[in-house]
Structure formats: C-alpha cells, structure tokens
C-alpha cells in the first residue's frame, strides 16, 4: 500500500476507516438498544398512584420522546464518522446523541422503578441522578465544538487552539458542580416526590471548592460558546464554493431552531395548556422538533448531498415564513375587528359562522397574489443579482421573438451573457450556413 492510500484509509489519530466504522456503528447500536428499552418499559409500566404530572404519564412519555427522536444525532454521526473518520464532527454527534438517549432511558427507567416501588429495582438512584440534567454542560460543550469546528473538523485558525481546551475544562468543572451540589434537586424527584437529597452531594470545604470551580467553569464555557459563534463568522468571511454552502446549511438549521424556540414554542405551550396539558411540555415539543434539523443539515453539508439546494431552501423559507405571518395577522386581526364591531352593533359575543367562512375564503383568495409579491420582494432585497439576471433574460427573450437581424441579436446575446454571468472574456462563434454538403455560400 502506498503512503497516500495508507493515509486515505486512516482517520485522525491513526484510526483505520474500518475501525472507525465499527466504533461509530457500535455507539449507534447502543443508542438504539437504550431507546428500544425505553419504549418497552413505557409500554409495560404499571399503574402509578402518585398525583400531579404522573397521571398524565409525562415522565415516561417525555423520556421515550427524547430517546427515540434524538436517535437522529447518533445516526447521522455514525454515517459521518464511518465515511469521514478524520472529521471530529461525526464523533461529537455520536457523543451528544449517546448522552441524550441515555437521559431518555434514565427518565423511563427511574419512573418505572418508582412506580413499582422505591428501591425495588437496581440502579434506581443512579437513573434518577442521570435524569437530573447534570450532563447539560457536556451537551453544551459538544454544541460549542460543533459550531467551532464545522464543517471540516479544523479550527478557523491556529491561534484558536486554546478555545477547545478552555471549553472542555469549563464543561468538566460545571458538570462536577451540578452533579455534586447538595442543594441541587434532582429535577424529577422535585416534580414527583418533592425535594430529595443528592446521593452524590459533597459538603464542607470540598463542596465549597467545587461550587467556586463550577461557577468559574460555567462562565468559561459560555464565553467559549460566544467565541465559537464569532469563529463561524470569521470562517464564513473567507469561505468559498462548497465550504460556504456547508456553513449555510448549518446556519439555516440553527436559525430555524432559534426561530422555533423564540416564536413558535411559546404559542404551542399556550395551546397545549388550554387543552389540559403541561405548558412546559408543549413548549419543549417544537424545540425538540427544531433540534432534529441540526443533524440533517450537518449530514447534508459534510457528506455534500445536494449542497446548492440551500439557496432555494432559504428563499422559500423567507417567502412562506413572511407570507404565513402576514396572513395569520390579517386573519386574526380581521376576525377580532369584525367581532368587536358585531358586538357593538348587535350585542352578541359569538360571530356568525358565515363571517368566519368568508374570512377564510378571503385569506385563500389573497394567498397567490401575496405570495408573488413576497417572492418579488425577497428576490429584490436578498437576491438582487439573481433578480437582475432574471429580468435581463426576460427582456432578451421578449426581444428574441421580434428581432430578425442576426448581427444585432448576436450583440444582444453577448450583452446579456456579460450582464448575467459576468465572465472575464466573452466571444460569440456562429456556424456558417451551408447550401449543400461540403459547399459553403
């Protein structure tokens, strides 16, 4: 085997491609086994006598949702790590996925153990401890490193070498602090059984030391998260071609997650609470759905599958996002104004069904005209070069139907190509006409 082939067959740290694939898919298999176990325990759970959220089954249901839905992280991570073992992004996703799926399983297992009877199953306290969210600093570390190292697994510049080490140290200190705090109520103990003492709590001088170091570590990790975001903008400024498209995919998924968390999640929580559910669960569900877009974007970007579709996807998201917001605003504003007017004139609180149907028909009639206007606005505002090129081609196609002078048409064609494609040099070659085989006029 030549040196180049040997280097190609190995990932970072000398790990062969076959060993990397075996390790990545082993992690994925473990995650699938934990998720399947969570589903089985949730299906065969005994009746629970406790009051409150237990009656809604949230403890098991939420654990199953986390364990099953977040399998997308180790799945995409295994694909990336097995095909690009030198890229650490795949391994980070495998680690984050394993932590999240483990938390989901711990939620279901601890709920099952408590429903059978406290102390009835082995590892009950460990499962409750794991479900207490103390691993969040590690997940934050994984996200920060993913942002910093995306898409090729390398730092934006050699001068950034200290950032991952500071972030990792801060995550470890923060995790140890959360895991050993005496006053830290394990989150589900607090909800369902009241405050309980952390079985791994540290007190006295050691506890105070861990508290101080943990706060310092949390501050350092959050500071490194900000530095990672800054690194994305630095990388984007010098990125060209495929790398720029890869960063666009990741930024698109992150923006969607942020938009869902800030705009959509609170409204979903209100609707779920109005239906008799728990507001926190309703708010968490769309955030969880937004989290699923991150591994999809990472897999497409790193494996380079239809990279250049991201521009069309961003365009459509802007158009239909604005369109939906405007139509929803018009609908609810119109219904509210009509209801107030109807109440003033007739004294009745309930609108006639005909008014609601008419409002829906008006919104449906406005959809296509408003969509075209939104598309034109987005193209003019954010895709000006593409918009100008489309207008130039449209004008040339109009002239093409009427122009009969070949020389003038050739000049127009050269002008159109120069304006739309902006080449460094352009020339037009025309095939001469022939009157017969082998004879030119």
Structure tokens at 189: 């103990």
DSSP string, 186-224: -HHHHHHT-----TT---HHHHHHHHHHHHHHHHHHHHH
pLDDT value of position 264:
81
pLDDT value of position 138:
84
Q: Which residues pair with 16 in a beta bridge?
A: 10
**H helix or E strand, kind and range, residue 245:** helix 242-259
Q: 271: which residues sit within 8 A by CB, 6+ positions away?
A: 282
Residue spans per domain, the chain: 9-236, 239-305, 320-382, 387-421
Q: Are 73 and 50 in contact (CB under 8 A)?
A: no
Q: In whole angstroms, what is the distance from residue 304 CA to residue 80 CA?
A: 11
Structure tokens at 224: 């490194």
Q: Are 237 and 244 in contact (CB under 8 A)?
A: no
pLDDT digits (tens, 9 = 90+) for 421-440: 566 666 666 666 655 555 55
pLDDT value of position 202:
73
pLDDT digits (tens, 9 = 90+) for 167-185: 999 998 888 887 777 754 4
- Hey, CA dihedral for 38, 41, 44, 47, is it positive or negative? negative
Per-chain mean pLDDT for the chain: 75
Mean pLDDT computed over 29-57: 72
pLDDT value of position 1:
37
Give the number of C-alpha atoms closer than 13 A to the C-alpha of residue 161, restricted to the C-beta side: 2
For residue 314, which of 366, 364, 259, 232 has the smallest C-alpha distance?
A: 259
pLDDT at 260 over 80: yes
pLDDT digits (tens, 9 = 90+) for 71-100: 999 999 999 998 888 889 999 999 989 988
Instruction: Look at 3-17, 21-35, 419-433 and tell me which has the smallest mean pLDDT.
Output: 3-17
Q: Are 423 and 413 in contact (CB under 8 A)?
A: no
pLDDT value of position 36:
93
pLDDT at 19 over 80: yes
pLDDT digits (tens, 9 = 90+) for 183-225: 544 444 444 444 456 666 777 777 788 889 888 998 999 999 8
pLDDT value of position 392:
62
Residue 165 exposed, middle or buried by CB count within 10 Å (0-12, 13-18, 19+): exposed
pLDDT value of position 288:
80
pLDDT value of position 410:
66
State whether residue 350 is helix, strand or coil.
Answer: coil
- The whole-model pTM stands at 0.71
The answer for 185, left when phi > 0, alpha when psi is -120 to 50, beta otherwise, is: beta
Bigger pLDDT: 55 vs 107: 107
The CA dihedral of 55, 61, 63, 65, to the nearest 10 degrees, is -160
DSSP string, 125-167: HHHHHHTTSTTHHHHHHHHHHHHHHTTTTS-SSGGGTHHHHHH
Mean pLDDT computed over 118-145: 77
Q: Which residues pair with 10 in a beta bridge?
A: 16
pLDDT value of position 216:
92
Q: In whole angstroms, what is the distance from residue 428 CA to residue 251 CA?
A: 41
DSSP string, 272-317: HHHTTS-HHHHHHHHHHHHHTHHHHHHHHHHHTSSGGGHHHHHHHH
């Amino acid at each position: 085997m030549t040196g180049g082939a040997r280097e190609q067959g190995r990932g970072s740290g000398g790990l062969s491609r076959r060993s990397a694939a075996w390790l990545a898919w082993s992690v994925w298999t473990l995650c699938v086994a934990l998720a399947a176990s969570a589903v089985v325990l949730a299906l065969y759970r005994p009746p629970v006598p406790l009051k409150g959220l237990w009656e809604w089954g949230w403890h098991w249901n939420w654990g199953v949702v986390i364990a099953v839905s977040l399998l997308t992280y180790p799945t995409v991570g295994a694909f990336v790590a097995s095909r690009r073992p030198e890229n650490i992004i795949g391994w980070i996703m495998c680690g984050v996925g394993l932590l999240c799926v483990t938390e989901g399983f711990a939620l279901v297992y601890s709920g099952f153990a408590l429903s059978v009877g406290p102390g009835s199953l082995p590892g009950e306290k460990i499962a409750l401890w794991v479900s207490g969210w103390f691993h969040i600093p590690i997940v934050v570390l994984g996200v920060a490193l993913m942002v910093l190292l995306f898409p090729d697994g390398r730092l934006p510049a050699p001068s950034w070498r200290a950032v991952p080490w500071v972030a990792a140290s801060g995550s470890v200190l923060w995790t140890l602090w959360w895991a050993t705090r005496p006053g830290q109520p394990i989150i589900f103990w607090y909800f369902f059984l009241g405050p309980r003492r952390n079985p791994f709590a540290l007190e006295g001088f050691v506890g105070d030391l861990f508290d101080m170091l943990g706060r310092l570590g949390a501050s350092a990790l959050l500071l490194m998260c900000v530095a990672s975001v800054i690194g994305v903008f630095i990388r984007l400024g010098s990125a060209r071609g495929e790398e720029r498209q890869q960063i666009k995919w990741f930024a698109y998924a992150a923006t969607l997650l942020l938009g869902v968390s800030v705009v959509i999640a609170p409204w979903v929580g209100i609707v779920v609470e109005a239906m008799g559910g728990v507001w926190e669960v309703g708010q968490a569900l769309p955030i969880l759905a937004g989290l699923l877009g991150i591994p999809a974007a990472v897999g497409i970007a790193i494996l380079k599958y239809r990279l250049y579709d991201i521009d069309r996807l961003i365009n459509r998201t802007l158009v239909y996002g604005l369109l939906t917001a405007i139509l929803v605003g018009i609908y609810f504003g119109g219904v509210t104004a009509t209801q107030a007017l109807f109440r003033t004139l007739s004294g009745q609180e309930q609108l006639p069904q005909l008014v609601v149907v008419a409002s829906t028909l008006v919104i449906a009639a406005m959809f296509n005209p408003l969509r075209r206007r939104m598309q034109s606005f987005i193209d003019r505002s954010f895709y000006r070069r593409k918009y100008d090129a489309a207008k130039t081609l449209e004008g040339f196609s109009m002239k093409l139907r009427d122009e009969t002078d070949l020389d003038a048409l050739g000049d127009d064609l050269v002008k159109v190509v120069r304006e739309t494609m902006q080449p460094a040099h352009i020339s037009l070659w025309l095939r001469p006409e022939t009157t017969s085989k082998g004879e030119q006029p």
